A and B are shown apart, each in its own frame.
Chain A
Amino acid sequence: MGVTALLIWGYFVIALPLWVAVEIVHTRPGHRAGWFPALFWTGRGLALAGVTWAAFGATYGARGFWHEVWTQLRENYPALLRGYRMTIILTLLSFALAMLLGGVLALFRTSESRLLRATSGAYVEWFRNTPLLVQLFFLFFALPKLTLPIFGRPDWFLLSPFKAGLIGLTMYTAAYTAEALRSGLLAVDKGQTEAARSLGLNYVQARIYVVTPQALRIAVPLLTSIFSALFRNSALVSAIGVRELLQTADNIQQNNFKTFELFALAGVMYLSLTLPLAYASNRLEHRVARSR
């Protein structure tokens, strides 16, 4: 019995029943999985692994599917971790930028000027209603061919895959963060602005120091799910040649034909971040719902 088999059987005999117990405690009304949340989501990931193992195990002989996956991880971990790092860098950078851009757009959208409202509305509608992949193709394939009336064809229109991916993800996500922040801004009571104004703050100060912090707090659950969506959407930049996680797995897979193993590995690596995030966002939603 190899180490992998031991791990898998150990999981089925010990972790799975424990996890089922946690799950039942969690879903019964009035109870939360306050104790041992780590087991809660690890269990889910491992259960998925178990199901896949059961589904593919038959075609992989005695040692099983996940043994192959483990081998792939052992052989290719430097490249895969580089890809993972790239995915995380892209996500964090573009989320930070999208928060800035989205914040500006949300302030425009709720401002008193009709022009600003219209501009921001058009931006949000356009970027929310066209596919991210088309936007990325625009930035990467079409932008270098754009000739402007006076400037001609600036060199910086020829974007590197990383820059195109970063800008594309930022602009797409900003449309969503703008909507989230707008709903947060609208949820803040009007009396807050009026109170701040009567204390002597001007309109801009009232927005920035009084309304925005409260709006951010209200928007946090929405922003978490946007962040998770962004993390998953970052897989699309592999289409324009950024060496992130999916692209790395795909490259290795094209050399050694271990297609399933590598995509399963990439899947587990994505889940390692999205499942805890989903858990956190559920908890946050509960907390916000209770505090209201």
Chain B
Amino acid sequence: MDAIWGHLLDLLPGDWTLFKEWPYWRFLFEGLWVSVQIAVAGIALAILVGVIMAVARLSPIPIVRVLATTYVESFRATPLLLLIFFVFFGAGRLNTGGAKDWPILDWFLDDNSGDLTPKASAILALALYNSAVVAEIMRAGILSISKGVIEASRTIGLSYLQSMRYVAVPMALRRMAPALVSQLITLYKDTSLAALIAIEELLRRGKILYEAPSLGNHTIEVLTVVALMYFIPNYALSLLAARLEKGPERRAGDDAGGASIIETAVARG
């Protein structure tokens, strides 16, 4: 197997000797795993906060609406790299030492100092930005549900929050699934920014590999492999998003507004 792989690589232009050996692949795959961890934690937090913000933005209480709008508009309008720098440099000044022994928070804190770890600050910054985007997607989703459905649920005795929790949000989540998958693509691409705050994720690992003087000159090859490691999962996800968009969820009778909302959300990447 190894021999075949080596001969196949020899057919390509460029010097691929590095990728004939497993340890270099493993070095990159470890980085890929960190990237995936950041992406998954980021999207989970983002959807959690984003749904809450979307519901708050449509709330009948003005002050809730205003606060949620401020949150969404300001985090969506800031460059992500700036947010990452802000959270990363700010992590040292936050006094989080006391939460070191708490059940879930301790995943994000350094064992010794009790500070936010670099990885956690990247996750936090990504979640801040993406929760604002997810909130916009979800708001568009909730608004695209016909008013009658929500009014009907209010008539049968559900409170505003209950009608959101049991009727509007589940429907909107299903309708907005393609847009959320597209946002996951953007988020996975954005994990590469964590390389700039010295987290050893995929891009950083690649940079270490091609900058190592003892390994020779492999910049193009390493960056190609790194780009492919971003491209392949993302392309699969974009096919999934396209499929979801065409799926049984898009019945006739859905208002045509849905399509442009999804496209707007996708273009925001």
Contacts and interface: CB of A to CB of B under 8 A. Distances in A.
B79 A23 contact: no
Contacts of A275: 73-74, 77
B267 A128 contact: no
Interface string A216-248: 000001100110110011111011000000100
Nearest to B236: A129
Contacts of B86: 260, 263-264, 267
A141 B219 CA distance: 7
Given A233-B79, A267-B78, A289 B257 contact: yes
A274 interface: yes
Given A59-B93, A131-B203, A146-B220, A23 B78 contact: no
B223 A141 contact: yes
Contacts of B210: 141
A44 interface: yes
A129 B234 contact: yes
B245 interface: no
B49 interface: no
Interface stretch (A77-85, A160-168, A175-183, A195-203): A175-183
Nearest to B238: A129
Interface in B212-257: 217, 219-220, 223, 226-227, 230-231, 234-235, 238, 257
Interface size class, chain A: 35 or more
Contacts of A271: 74, 77-78
Contacts of B69: 23, 27, 44
A263 B230 contact: no
23 contacts: A23-B65, A23-B69, A44-B70, A44-B74, A59-B93, A128-B269, A129-B189, A131-B190, A131-B191, A134-B192, A134-B203, A134-B230, A135-B227, A142-B223, A145-B219, A226-B267, A232-B77, A235-B82, A236-B81, A246-B81, A270-B82, A285-B264, A289-B257
Interface of A: 20, 23-24, 27, 44-45, 47-48, 51, 59, 125-126, 128-135, 137-138, 141-142, 145-146, 176, 179-180, 183, 221-222, 225-226, 228-229, 232-236, 238-239, 246, 250, 259-260, 263-264, 266-267, 270-271, 274-275, 277-278, 285, 289
Contacts of B257: 289
A9 B143 CA distance: 37
Contact of A138 (B227, B235, B267): B227
B227 A23 contact: no
A226 B90 CA distance: 29
Nearest to A272: B77
Contacts of B176: none
A126 B191 CA distance: 17
A128 B264 contact: no
Given A229-B268, A285-B264, A130 B234 contact: yes
Contact of A137 (B78, B223, B234, B235): B223
B192 A176 contact: no
B89 A134 contact: no
In this complex, the interface size class of chain B, counting residues with CB under 8 Å from chain A, is: 35 or more
Contacts of A250: 85
A44 B71 CA distance: 9
B231 A126 contact: yes
Contacts of A20: 62-63, 66
B82 A266 contact: yes
Contacts of A129: 185, 189, 230-231, 234-235, 238
A246 B79 contact: yes
B67 to A, nearest CB: 9
Contacts of A45: 74
Contacts of A274: 77-78
B238 A125 contact: yes
Given A234-B79, A239-B196, A260-B89, 9 more contacts: A128-B234, A128-B269, A141-B223, A179-B266, A180-B267, A232-B80, A235-B81, A238-B81, A267-B86
B100 interface: no
A142 B230 contact: no
Nearest to A183: B263
Interface in B93-123: 93
A278 B79 CA distance: 14
A27 B205 CA distance: 47
B20 interface: no
A204 B93 CA distance: 61
A180 B260 CA distance: 10
In this complex, the member of B227, B230, B263 whose beta carbon has the largest number of chain A beta carbons within 10 angstroms is B227
B154 interface: no
Contacts of B266: 179
A278 B78 CA distance: 11
Contacts of B63: 20
B220 A48 contact: no
B165 interface: no
B195 interface: yes
Contact of B227 (A134, A146, A222, A289): A134
